[in-house]
């Protein structure tokens, strides 16, 4: 693999790259459901959530005004969660699903369900000390701003680009192009854990993709040999090593 050019900008995915879940979605959904008398297996919810999430349309609202966006985000997640419970056969047990889901949605806007990976802060501090601009490019919604703040990550990023605001979700090249417009694309690195959204999406926009392969078994792998030309790392320390090689 040829050496990479030193980056003028590094963009990073959020969930699965900067921070992850302390508990699985199925565990959390199951606990909230039990509080309203609905009993369901967390492992079955995990599988159902992954399928529902993949089947949902992008969380992107290109035709909405900013004042309408928060409600659209909530509705998007309500539908995905309802589909999750439908897939395990218990949706009809909720007396009022929208009322049930409101505190679940609010819970994921806090720091409580999230944990910053150990390798993240050292890498961000290192890149910041080198004067490399950092941005987030994520298919999350506007709750991400508060989560980054609560986790102590917000000060490291010059900008945060989310699909619900841009109106396009990864792997759509538009969200990447909007983020990197002042920098061009030839010397921008994007680091993320999804092969389709982060690697193929960044490549489609002309960015240098680096595939972060944390232990997330539900994420699909590419076809054999498809990933050979893409730098692969197991944590952000690997990206620091790649960066040192570009300047040595």
DSSP assignment string, 78-90: HHHHHHHHHHTT-
pLDDT per residue, tens digit, the chain (248 aa), is 556 788 999 999 999 999 999 999 999 999 999 999 999 999 999 999 999 999 999 999 998 999 999 999 999 999 999 999 999 999 999 999 999 999 999 999 999 999 999 999 999 999 999 999 999 999 999 999 999 999 999 999 999 999 999 999 999 999 999 999 988 777 899 999 999 999 999 999 999 999 999 875 545 566 545 555 788 899 999 989 888 887 76
CB 21 within 8 A of CB 201: no
Any residues with CB less than 8 A from the CB of 209 and at least 6 apart, and which? 189, 190, 191, 192, 198, 199, 200, 202, 203, 230, 231
Q: How far apart are CA 43 and CA 21, in angstroms?
A: 15
The rounded radius of gyration (Å) of the Cα atoms in the chain is 19
Q: How far apart are CA 157 and CA 19, in angstroms?
A: 14
Q: How far apart are CA 64 and CA 72, in angstroms?
A: 9
Task: Give the pLDDT confidence score for residue 218 in this predicted structure.
Answer: 45
Task: Give the pLDDT confidence score for residue 21 in this predicted structure.
Answer: 96
Task: Give the pLDDT confidence score for residue 227 in this predicted structure.
Answer: 54
* Cis status of the peptide bond prior to 127, with omega within 30 of 0: no
Task: Give the pLDDT confidence score for residue 221 in this predicted structure.
Answer: 60
213 phi, psi to nearest 5 deg: -105, 70
DSSP-assigned beta bridge partners for residue 190:
11, 209
228 phi, psi to nearest 5 deg: -65, -30
Domains of the chain and CATH, by start: 9-20+113-247 (3.40.50.1000), 23-107 (1.10.150)
Task: Give the pLDDT confidence score for residue 5 in this predicted structure.
Answer: 83
Q: What is the pTM of this model?
A: 0.92
Do the strands 19-21 and 114-116 form a parallel or antiparallel pair, or are they unpaired? antiparallel
For 44, what's the count of Cα atoms within 13 Å in the CB-facing half-sphere?
Answer: 11
111, two tokens: 């720091």
Tell me which DSSP letter residue 216 carries: -
């Amino acid at each position: 693999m040829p050496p990479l050019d030193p980056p003028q900008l590094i963009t990073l995915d959020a969930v699965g790259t900067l921070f992850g879940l302390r508990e699985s979605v199925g565990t959390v959904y199951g606990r909230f459901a039990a509080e309203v008398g609905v009993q369901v297996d967390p492992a079955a919810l995990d599988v159902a959530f992954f399928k529902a999430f993949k089947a949902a349309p992008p969380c992107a609202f290109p035709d909405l005004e900013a004042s309408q966006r928060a409600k659209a985000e909530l509705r998007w997640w309500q539908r995905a969660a309802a589909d999750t419970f439908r897939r395990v056969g218990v949706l009809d047990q909720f007396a009022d699903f929208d009322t049930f889901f409101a505190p679940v949605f609010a819970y994921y806007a806090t720091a409580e369900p999230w944990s910053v990976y150990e390798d993240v802060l050292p890498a961000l501090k290192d890149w910041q000390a080198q004067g490399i601009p950092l941005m987030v490019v994520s298919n999350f919604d506007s709750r991400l701003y508060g989560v980054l703040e609560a986790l102590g990550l917000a000060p490291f990023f010059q900008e945060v680009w989310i699909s619900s605001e841009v109106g396009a979700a990864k792997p759509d090249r538009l969200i990447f192009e909007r983020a990197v417009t002042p920098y061009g694309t030839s010397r921008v690195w994007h680091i993320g854990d999804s092969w389709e959204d982060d690697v193929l999406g960044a490549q489609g926009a002309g960015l240098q993709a680096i595939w972060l392969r944390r232990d997330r078994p539900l994420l699909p792998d590419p076809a054999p040999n498809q990933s050979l030309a893409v730098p692969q790392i197991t944590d952000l320390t690997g990206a620091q090593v790649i960066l040192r090689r570009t300047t040595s």
